[in-house]
Amino acid sequence: MTITSTSSTPTPTPFAPLAQLAADLAAGRTTSRALVEAALERISAPSGQGATVFIQSDAAQARAAADAQDQLRAAGTVLSPLAGIPVSVKDLFDVAGEVTRAGSTVLAQNPPATADAQVVARLRRAGAVFVGRTNMSEFAFSGLGLNAHFGHPLSPWQRGVPGQERIAGGSSSGAAASVADGMAAVALASDTGGSIRIPAALCGLTGFKATAARIPLQGGVPLAPSLDSYGAIGVSVACCALMDRLLAGLPPEIPVARPLEGVRLGVLNHYVTDDLEPAVASAIEAALRHLEAAGAIVSEVRFAELERMPEINRFGFSPIEAYAWHRPLLDAHRQQYDPRVLSRILKGEPASAADYLDLLAERRAMQAAAAPLWQRFDVLVAPTVPVIAPRVADFAHDDASFSAFNRANALVLRNPSVFNFLNSCALSVPCHPHGEAPVGLMLASAPFHDDALLAIGRAVEAVLGPVLGSSLSVTPKSTSSINR
């Protein structure tokens, strides 16, 4: 990773892309056990943030799984390109034998899961080695990634600079930090309003939210089932694409990059560009210039219906559906909730059945209004997050109404949540200049155009990586360079 800061603290180094790890395993240049030991060493390093990033890590189990994959490989059996590679799992997914806390103490006394979530089972069958459960916003209900119970995972940006430490973004804060810090090669995460793409953007990583119905939700703690979707955070588009194929139960055939010449990019303006910080605006503008120079047809477009989103989401799916799920827990455990999360859940309490039906109708109307855009453009483009990662210190002395938290939370969620509402697939790729604060460029396509989006995303990444010196190069590097 080439994100730098003014701190003397060593910059975290992520694993090489999955394709390079698989090639190194195939050639005998490394072993699954070696990769897992590297991940575990970083998780347990006193100078690192493993104790905050991971809620649980079972080193003995991970080593045993790695050894099993090495033995299978020696016998000529390779389950998939992910076989033997260390993967982190967000704490809202069931893993057989482990308690699923969803980043909360409320569920800590629940019995261990008796079976894997379906997506976890699919990754296990593919030979993934799970190195631990990652921290997250409590019950996934915040885009900032702060956790009052287990601590706040940090972005690599300005890590160790006193008073300048930055949030990793949420809700999949630990997932992103685990990849950025080389504690896992790729992370399994969820996205209801940006929970994959926000932390990917703020940590200089790549994150992909699949079309929701494409990947089964069974075995995951819900936030808002109408919007919930699963996906991955990794160091490249190809990493996310491989995970997406496996999570969807499809053969691990990664879409080939589509040449950018003639690709129609619709750059959304208004709404998603309101309150854009200068560093974000500059990075996005430069990225678009380079994509246009590579042959993409770049056009600005105003989708005026988006400007009604605050009115439409007066209650919103997440508060209404979260309140319905949490009611029994609130009766018994209200005092255990982080008050910031509790206040967001309780926003759904006064919503009536008529309010919910109105919301469903508004969503259908918005999706219908977006249909011509999907015909006109191959991809819609927006800043993933309109600001650089806020400082953790910005929330340390928030007032009783959580005004600083609520303002920042609403702002980071605003852009990515649009595409959950539209039920589209969406990808965030890093686009910031070398050495500057991480910025994500978000690309979105029509529902179930996931492979087409990933093919374009690979081409976008290939242009932006070398030209802008974005935080993570897509050029594979040998596993021998992994800092132990």
Active site residues: 90, 171, 195
Q: What is the pLDDT of residue 11?
A: 65
Q: Report the alpha-carbon distance of residue 412 to residue 387 in Å, rounded.
A: 7
Q: What is the pLDDT of residue 480?
A: 31
- The pLDDT tens digits of the residues spanning 57-87 come to 999 999 999 999 999 999 999 999 999 999 9
Give the residue carrying structure tokens 């482990």.
98
Tell whether omega for the bond before 171 is within 30 degrees of 0, i.e. cis: yes
Q: What is the residue-level pLDDT of the chain in tens, covering all 484 positions?
A: 333 333 445 567 999 999 999 999 999 999 999 999 999 999 999 999 999 999 999 999 999 999 999 999 999 999 999 999 999 999 999 999 999 999 999 999 999 999 999 999 999 999 999 999 999 999 999 999 999 999 999 999 999 899 999 999 999 999 999 999 999 999 999 999 999 999 999 999 999 999 999 999 999 999 999 999 999 999 999 999 999 999 999 999 999 999 999 999 999 999 999 999 999 999 999 999 999 999 999 999 999 999 999 999 999 999 999 999 999 999 999 999 999 999 999 999 999 999 999 999 999 999 999 999 999 999 999 999 999 999 999 998 899 899 999 999 999 999 999 999 999 999 999 999 988 999 999 999 999 999 999 999 999 999 999 866 544 433 333 333 332 2
1 HSE (CA, 13 A, CB side): 31
Find out whether 415 and 422 touch, Cβ atoms under 8 Å. Answer: no
Residues listed for the chain: 484
CATH topology of domain 18-481: Amidase signature (AS) enzymes (3.90.1300)
474 HSE (CA, 13 A, CB side): 22
Q: Indicate the domain borders of the chain.
A: 18-481
Residue 438: which residues within 8 A CB-CB, separation 6 or more?
3, 155, 156, 157, 201, 202, 203, 204, 388, 389, 430, 432, 471
Find out whether 474 and 431 touch, Cβ atoms under 8 Å. Answer: no
